[in-house]
Structure 1
Amino acid sequence: MIEIEKEFLKKLIDDRHFLHMNPELSGEEFATTEFIKEKLKEHNIKIIETNLKNGVVAEIGQGDKVVALRADIDALPIEEESGVAYHSKVKGKMHACGHDFHTISLIGAAILLKENEDELKGKVRLIFQPEEEINSGAVKMIEENVLEGVSCIIGFHNKPDIPVGFIGIKEGPLMAGVEQFEVEIRGVGTHAAAPHNGNDPIVTASQIITGLQSIVSRHISPLETAVVSVTKIEAGKTWNIIPDRVKLEGTIRTFSEKVREETKKLFEQIIKNYSAAVNQEAEIKWISDGSPVDNNEKMAEILKKEISKFAKVIEPEIMMGGDDFARYQEKVPGLYAFIGTGCPYEWHHPSFLIDDKALPYAINYFITGAKAMLETNDKLK
């Protein structure tokens, strides 16, 4: 573990607090992008130009072998209730998932790697990715060829229910593949006192939502894992009018392609059958789809050994939350870990917090991982 000087660590913590106070939502990370560039330029770290207006790609070292490190940078539309002195200054926006912590961890690692650049056995590519929360940032980065020549990629997410000093690493699936859907059910609107003169889509939507619950409970093997959640319902404008349409939004989470295809097929059948039975129309739109975060076995083996030299390595439980880090893993071998940050509140909670004592562990995770993968001759596929 690299000992981080107190003054340098304090500066990094101050920088994280600054980012925490100035959160930017997915697609709006313009000031955050400039902040990252300024910090890298201060230490003569090479920035690679892209066509993106948000997000940063940079590089350290020389040679043919390239290892990528990725951190996400966006915030969430949540009003902060943490009570910390450095709480968000932007109403209705908050770093409630800890991406400010991820960003500063990678900046800190980049500065320390730059200081010892001559010791690197290749290049380290730094990917500060926007738009993770809307599942589009990784795709945009990949389209900018950020994985060109990359042998593997390393990332992490803070984990509030894991204590500081502990890092969760496991091979294979870690986080679920994420599907996002929109459904519009179209009926016939009418006066609320005369429902027989219309064709009420609210009743149909209610039956559909109930029917969708049978997918996991009655059609997916109990030995498999899946989640179907309707999370948003929009219908009507006032109390005495039956509307002509209902909009549903939500997500499907799975770990295997087989279960994913089966779940989506049943999802579409239920919606179309229920709506057709009452002479209504239903339109299904898949907004995004993604693979599960699936860790390379060899990378997990190597990093467990190296990370255990400065942190307590544990086997984390798989979870139904998703991360578009999986998009990179579709292209190159990757390792995604959970770094303990010790907080009683889960991600996306208004009182979510990060313990700053976890920062040295996150920085060393990046540095150790990059060096270990640059120095290994083991085949990853």
Structure 2
Amino acid sequence: MSCSFKCFHFPIIIFMLHVFTTTQISSSTDDSSFNNFLDSAKSSEVFDWMINIRRKIHENPELGYQEFETSELIRSELDKMGIPYKHPVAITGVIGFIGTGSSPFVAIRADMDALPMQEMVEWEHKSKVAGKMHACGHDAHVTMVLGAAKILKQHEKEIQGTVVLVFQPAEEGGGGAKKILDTGALENVTAIFGLHIAPDLPIGEVASKSGPILAGSGFFEAKISGKGGHAAIPQQSIDPILAASNVILSLQHLVSREADPLDSQVVTIGKCQGGSAYNVIPDSVTIGGTFRAFSKQSFNQLKQRIEQVIIGQAAVQRCNATVDFLDEVKPFYPPTINNGDLHEHFVNVAVNMLGINKVESAMSPFMGAEDFSFYQEVIPGYFFFLGMKNAEHERFVPSLHSPYLKINEDGLPYGAALHASLAASYLLKHQQDIVPGVERKYRDEL
């Protein structure tokens, strides 16, 4: 995910009213044996095991579709637990199964890839690979789904259906979720849950909302071509730097003057390259950036206008421009939109486990993007944020995608327990969906 997390807490009275007016807290569908999942995750047996796994993955980060060692570690742990799985899925992905092997099927997902970033935190388990780092917490995501698997395996006889473990490659721009779906590996899954660590949210707290929670995102790169020459004789050149400057300024007007102020959108230029000497006008300038919106309509409108503005403004300055939206290598991510029914389920489970004052159920959406949204386009899905704030009282809390990111491993049991409880209680609740007399075993697609 490509944005730091900010959670805005509402006053507790308003929050409590929201929870009790939108969701009836009830444990009538929860099996009592699932209520001790957090205690199980906090036990030294599970907790120490999770810390060891997380640190191994952190020391050996791998970029998207290159997560071969991470995948091998996952499969090794699943083998030790006696959990069957399918591999490879989408190159490095692993799909595991716990339960009866029959419907209903519910999935919990972890992304595996790291970032091309040099870690700047000096500690015993710092990344051993130069220029690569788990700066977005995917090492913790994998660990928590494995932790959930360990807990669920211990309760497998009580699981009323099948929990599908999704270990997915290439969330960071590679669209690994889409490739997982394209394999048909989740064909019979009726719900999927995912989480993301939040380094500025306290341990033991979670935050989410129903509806749009993260934006759809895309990237673009444009080459603006003019005619190079000496800076002292500008009339004999066609200046692409001047054209690029006008393009960049005009792109900012798309949000400030064309978008509905109540419809959040972003256009950001993060790349501008051109020229190498103080006294030479270059032949061309390359700019690039990202655009984001919470609806497909707004997203597509931004895409269309970005291309029009770049080409039109370049022409005003007598330059030519080409625009590449890079969608073949960096697929557009849809908005992340949480299912309303699953939101109620999440609030029930989280409040019962953590307490009402630890669950923010109406967080403000923000402009980060997640390829979990690909799952939500075809499967009812739910995504939430898990507190991983460092125990140290630091004035500056490093954001996601920071080389200084540190996470608090005390948060691992909460993620593992929530994954396990969300999945197990969902299956218990949806047993009535099974057609009597029809038994469905593992299929090749699963």
**TM-score range, shorter-chain basis?**
over 0.9
The one-letter code matched in structure 2 to 1:223 is: L
Whole-Å Cα distance in 2 between the matches of residues 51 and 81 of structure 1?
33
Q: Does 1:250 align with 2:310?
A: no
Contact 2:61/2:127 (<8 A) preserved = yes
Deviation at 1:88, TM superposition (A): 1.2
The one-letter code matched in structure 2 to 1:292 is: P
The match for 2:429 among 367, 372, 376 is 376
Secondary structure in 2 matching 1:308: helix
Range 262-271 or range 314-323, more displaced: 262-271
Q: Does 1:57 align with 2:100?
A: no
Whole-Å Cα distance in 2 between the matches of residues 317 and 341 of structure 1?
18
Contact 1:189/1:241 (<8 A) preserved = yes
Deviation at 1:126, TM superposition (A): 1.0
Deviation at 1:240, TM superposition (A): 4.0
Query: In the alignment, which residue of structure 2 is the partner of 1:89?
Result: 128
Contact 1:21/1:86 (<8 A) preserved = yes
Secondary structure in 1 matching 2:122: coil
Q: Does 1:120 align with 2:159?
A: yes
Secondary structure in 1 matching 2:353: coil
Contact 2:314/2:320 (<8 A) preserved = yes
Contact 2:89/2:95 (<8 A) preserved = no
Query: In the alignment, which residue of structure 2 is the partner of 1:30?
Result: 68
Q: Does 1:346 align with 2:399?
A: yes
Contact 1:303/1:372 (<8 A) preserved = no
Whole-Å Cα distance in 2 between the matches of residues 27 and 240 of structure 1?
43
Whole-Å Cα distance in 1 between the matches of residues 225 and 92 of structure 2?
38
Contact 1:73/1:129 (<8 A) preserved = yes
The match for 1:314 among 356, 360, 363 is 360
Range 161-170 or range 196-205, more displaced: 196-205
Quote the RMSD (CA, aligned, Å): 1.6
Higher relative contact order (CA 8 A, sep 6+): 2
Deviation at 1:51, TM superposition (A): 5.1
Can you list the C-alpha shifts for 1:134-174, whole angstroms capped at 9, x where unaligned?
Answer: 14211111111122101011000001111001011311111
Can you list the C-alpha shifts for 1:291-349, whole angstroms capped at 9, x where unaligned?
Answer: 11100000010121112122221132211000000000001100001001114211011
Query: In the alignment, which residue of structure 1 is the partner of 2:247?
Result: 208
Query: In the alignment, which residue of structure 1 is the partner of 2:373?
Result: 326
Deviation at 1:190, TM superposition (A): 2.4
Contact 1:135/1:323 (<8 A) preserved = no
Contact 1:169/1:304 (<8 A) preserved = no
Whole-Å Cα distance in 1 between the matches of residues 170 and 387 of structure 2?
23
Deviation at 1:248, TM superposition (A): 1.4
Range 121-130 or range 83-92, more displaced: 83-92
Range 3-12 or range 101-110, more displaced: 3-12
Query: In the alignment, which residue of structure 1 is the partner of 2:383?
Result: 336
Query: In the alignment, which residue of structure 1 is the partner of 2:27?
Result: none
1:199-238 alignment runs, 5 A limit = 199-238=238-277
Deviation at 1:56, TM superposition (A): 1.4
1:1-381 alignment runs, 5 A limit = 1-2=36-37, 3-4=39-40, 5-50=43-88, 52-61=90-99, 62-287=101-326, 288-311=331-354, 312-315=358-361, 316-343=363-390, 344-377=397-430
The one-letter code matched in structure 1 to 2:309 is: I
Whole-Å Cα distance in 1 between the matches of residues 260 and 193 of structure 2?
33
Whole-Å Cα distance in 1 between the matches of residues 320 and 158 of structure 2?
64
TM-score, normalised to structure 2, is: 0.82
Contact 2:90/2:176 (<8 A) preserved = no
Whole-Å Cα distance in 1 between the matches of residues 297 and 211 of structure 2?
16
The one-letter code matched in structure 1 to 2:343 is: A
Gaps of 5+ in 1: none
Contact 2:349/2:421 (<8 A) preserved = yes
Range 47-56 or range 140-149, more displaced: 47-56
Whole-Å Cα distance in 2 between the matches of residues 64 and 272 of structure 1?
53
Whole-Å Cα distance in 2 between the matches of residues 141 and 149 of structure 1?
13
Can you list the C-alpha shifts for 1:225-280, whole angstroms capped at 9, x where unaligned?
Answer: 00100111122344443222221111111001232222223222211211122232
Contact 2:264/2:294 (<8 A) preserved = yes
Secondary structure in 2 matching 1:310: helix
Secondary structure in 2 matching 1:289: coil
Contact 1:50/1:144 (<8 A) preserved = no
Secondary structure in 2 matching 1:148: coil
Range 261-270 or range 64-73, more displaced: 261-270
Deviation at 1:196, TM superposition (A): 2.5
Aligned residues between the structures: 379
Identity of aligned residues (%): 37
The one-letter code matched in structure 2 to 1:44 is: G
Secondary structure in 1 matching 2:378: coil
Whole-Å Cα distance in 2 between the matches of residues 66 and 245 of structure 1?
54
Can you list the C-alpha shifts for 1:351-381, whole angstroms capped at 9, x where unaligned?
Answer: 11110110110001110110122122399xx
Secondary structure in 1 matching 2:71: helix
Deviation at 1:209, TM superposition (A): 0.6
Gaps of 5+ in 2: 1-35, 391-396, 434-446
